[in-house]
Structure 1
């Protein structure tokens, strides 16, 4: 075989070869000889089948396997020429040319390799910044919010008309076609008007009522309501307003701190302020990181750290961008793309820069994670998914299984690694750190 391998850059290589028919036939004979030891062909004892019979029985398959073996040999020899280990390849080699004739096969194979990345003095690319400040007023405002959220409700003596935002104590009972239905009755029920806790229309009709007033209101349950008996049905509710409810005032003192810092023997209002201040600082820092510093830092790394990218990985990123774009295109636009190859090429190029930057960022984060000795274990990944699922009111195991079956876990894990890497690098640049 005539083989010429060319290393285009540190991430891409090209192998061209001419495979003679003699080489293909030699592989056919070799494979047929191996098969003759195990093949079951009528009229011959196992292990005693002549090559001619094997070739007659498995002719097309033998040729296919012989060509495949020849391609493997081309790849192995090409990698040896350019001194590239098979373990450093990314993805499967791409056969971009396979021209067969009676005498030979002309082949061309493109291969991609994991980029060689010199991060250099990457820490010097990160600017120092000041930690966000939290004022005493912000601390006291948050403590008041927390205290109010835990304060018990009391009935007010006010007899004014109810307005949106009021919390009220009501009695109600629901009727469908004049008959009370199960689960439609409650007494002294606390409801914040405008919260959307009840079905649409209910709270709006309570607004404007007064303490002691009784009223029958009509509402229609949503068509997708959980109860088939009530879904889409018009119902009546008899409603009585018992009172407007107000939060009791809570003293901002050590007693409040003991309630809000359970389990701490030395709980005090000063310690509560310290903890709330730390919480607010972390919230502000997280917002600063996510909205400004992390995107800016990643852009800086992409702009300053230079290395070759595997072409086919960039092409895959472009493919995903085009597929996403296609979902928003009209049928006429899609038809034009199907019928005009130049339009497709033109469209692909509009995504190339963003795709290349996205791929580059991924490789940079991977290299930084190795440099900073950062990883995300499968246990951490599962815990994160479980926690977020529970916050959303979803079944954690079902959510994890869905992500697993959909192939999302590697992307989620990579996002977590990126978060860890950038957090660590930025934390080191806080001026008062």
Structure 2
């Protein structure tokens, strides 16, 4: 095998490889001998078919198989001998090959750049710890109480006004035919809550108890039931009563509805819950600041193909957002050239940070362990109440789903590792102060993050 280096510029590497026909022919002959001892052809006993017939029938397929093996062998050999770290699977271009001639092909790739990891204690980050007030805890419990409130019939006979809660029966139809899910009885509806189809609640304003109101509405074009989306519908609505809320007493009995023995233990639970929410929010904000700091600290060349792939994924989201009329407000008046320039920068930043995080993880022997995967699977399953076991089984039976968990887990472990090494300026702030500081911190870095949602391409890294 003859290997010639053709390009060694920056991150790009190209090699020309020639495998002599003699090497291939020898290996093809060995494989044909193995086939001859096992194969069964019509008119011959197993292993007794003439060699010429075996050669005629299998030589072309076997030679292609050997050629592929030689290509893979060459790739492995070059990567090992040159101590390369490919940024992606190398591209192979077979110039020409026909059995009986030398196998000539080119191998091209880009390598991961060599990065000198700088001391992390050079980085200083602000961490804001939100102080939880008693007022905030009381407001959260009050919110729970409102969610738990019940209604009783009032003495009022109407007319119904915005803000009232009415007890109704309703039957919906399209084209004179009732549709599935369009019927309800003894339903408490707050007028003005916009919990029903747009226009439904407005048509009940002015009605009185005992009235039967024809409510004519159009289902939204984006309605989840495709057979109803965009269609006009008629609802026959019977107003049975105007209701008034029964005040919920916030006491020990109320706390028991949430599995707590007393109001004090409920307040403790709520405080811990709010604290956890703020901690998660603080961690996400800290990660944003860290990624911004790393982006400012490192400026190495990135593999162009990885950047192109990342940009391609981002641009597809932009085009999808355009088609759906969901493009970010700040982008609507920009030309494609302006948008592409901005998102090329975003793609490059993402690739650079991804490479950097991988190098830091490798240098510090950070790995995704089975316990990390188990935790992630159980957290995912907990989002689907009643279907936890099915979700767990889906993951355990699908290796690709497991692989999909590894990258974000690895990134989180690397981020946690770095944060444990940087200097943190920790300060206590109110909820309002924390929100203001987050807005100030995010404003200058607005364009630095990659899209996280299908229709949004400029969200900060989470």
Given the two structures, how large is their TM-score scaled by the length of structure 1? 0.69
Contact residue 6 and residue 13 of structure 2 kept, 8 A: yes
The Cα shift of 1:378 comes to 4.0
Give 1:78's aligned residue.
78
Q: Which of residues 136, 143, 146 in structure 1 aligns to 2:144? A: 146
Contact residue 124 and residue 425 of structure 2 kept, 8 A: no
**3-state DSSP of counterpart to 2:256:** helix
Contact residue 158 and residue 242 of structure 2 kept, 8 A: no
Q: Which of residues 288, 293, 303 in structure 2 aligns to 1:300? A: 293
Q: Distance in 1 between matches of 2:270 and 2:52?
A: 85
Give 2:313's aligned residue.
320
Q: Distance in 2 between matches of 1:63 and 1:368?
A: 44
Deviations 1:195-227 (A, max 9, x none): 3445554422222335x4634334468598979
Does residue 1:431 correspond to 2:426, yes or no?
Answer: yes
Does residue 1:208 correspond to 2:179, yes or no?
Answer: no
Q: Distance in 2 between matches of 1:402 and 1:49?
A: 49
Given the two structures, how large is their TM-score scaled by the length of structure 2? 0.65
Give 2:350's aligned residue.
358
- Across the aligned residues of Structure 1 and Structure 2, the Cα RMSD in angstroms comes to 5.0
Q: Distance in 1 between matches of 2:59 and 2:215?
A: 80
The structure whose Rg is larger is 1
What are the equivalent positions in structure 2 for 1:126-141 lying under 5 Å apart?
Answer: 126-141=124-139
Contact residue 18 and residue 106 of structure 1 kept, 8 A: yes
Give 1:94's aligned residue.
91
Instruction: Tell me whether 237-246 or 310-319 shows the greater mean CA deviation.
Output: 310-319
Aligned residues: 403
What are the equivalent positions in structure 2 for 1:24-423 lying under 5 Å apart?
Answer: 24-41=24-41, 46-47=46-47, 51-83=51-83, 92-100=89-97, 104-111=102-109, 119-122=117-120, 124-156=122-154, 161-168=159-166, 170-172=167-169, 174=171, 184=183, 186-187=185-186, 189-198=187-196, 201-210=199-208, 212=209, 214-219=211-216, 222=219, 235=234, 237=236, 239-248=238-247, 250-251=249-250, 255=252, 258-259=255-256, 262-264=259-261, 267-269=262-264, 271-290=265-284, 292-305=285-298, 312-321=305-314, 323-324=316-317, 353-366=345-358, 371=364, 375=369, 377-390=372-385, 397=390, 401=394, 410-419=403-412, 421-422=414-415
Contact residue 19 and residue 103 of structure 2 kept, 8 A: yes
Q: 1:135 to 1:7 in 2, by over 3 A?
A: farther
The Cα shift of 1:124 comes to 4.5
The Cα shift of 1:164 comes to 2.7
Deviations 1:9-33 (A, max 9, x none): 9987543222333334334333333
The Cα shift of 1:95 comes to 0.8
The Cα shift of 1:129 comes to 1.8
Query: Mind listing any 5+ residue stretches in structure 1 that lack a counterpart?
Result: 331-346
Q: Distance in 2 between matches of 1:41 and 1:378?
A: 51
The Cα shift of 1:131 comes to 0.6
Query: Mind listing any 5+ residue stretches in structure 2 that lack a counterpart?
Result: 324-338, 429-462
Q: Distance in 2 between matches of 1:21 and 1:156?
A: 96
Q: Distance in 1 between matches of 2:213 and 2:320?
A: 48
